[in-house]
Structure 1
């Protein structure tokens, strides 16, 4: 499988565009909170995240192209053993093309958003090789 890269638009799937737009307009409370308080407007260490991004045959809750990072927020429907297996297969398929998937439960996002943001920031920090993109003058986040 070809790795995700700018040349292949990070495996963007235009066939899922309409469904992704629907999901973007009807985000869950936990998705909306993660977007508003942690990921939007380059709040996360200067990186741009996209909501409901079609990748391969999936729609990622949040994706950062530069980091090849996908963040998923799982509700109670993901507690089912079949859903767990589907999620694992999906994560493996995305890994084959170079993406890392970080998963958080809706409960974690709604009740411990600061910790969730910290875990995402820590993951990014462990992979950065130099200053983050579009870092503000003066060097602070």
Structure 2
């Protein structure tokens, strides 16, 4: 998965890795069955970066992901 990063994902990762913003981010991790591009557990923040895959997600799928993160 990490080998297939887009240029945008690579650039963002370089900016947020190693707690450069004061928070730890994980990349391409699984959260309650969803693979997300970047996640900060302390902030409960998911970042999804460009790609055709994301445009196919339904509103219901997005709500399920947000609910899953909020619940945990």
Greater helix fraction, Structure 1 or Structure 2: 1
1:26 alignment counterpart: 4
Superposed displacement of residue 43, structure 1? 1.2
After superposition, the Cα gap between the structure-2 partners of 1:27 and 1:70, relative to the gap in structure 1 and judged at 3 Å, is: same
Structure 2 length-normalised TM: 0.81
Give the alignment's Cα RMSD to 1 decimal.
Answer: 2.0
Bigger Rg, which one:
1
SS across alignment from 2:59:
helix
Structure 1 length-normalised TM: 0.44
Unaligned 5+ segments in structure 1 are 1-22, 100-141
Greater strand fraction, Structure 1 or Structure 2: 2
Choose from 44, 56, 62 the match for 1:91.
62
Question: Which structure's relative contact order is higher, taking Cα pairs within 8 Å and 6+ residues apart?
Answer: 1
Choose from 42, 53, 58 the match for 1:66.
42
CA contact 2:34–2:65 (8 Å) conserved in 1: no
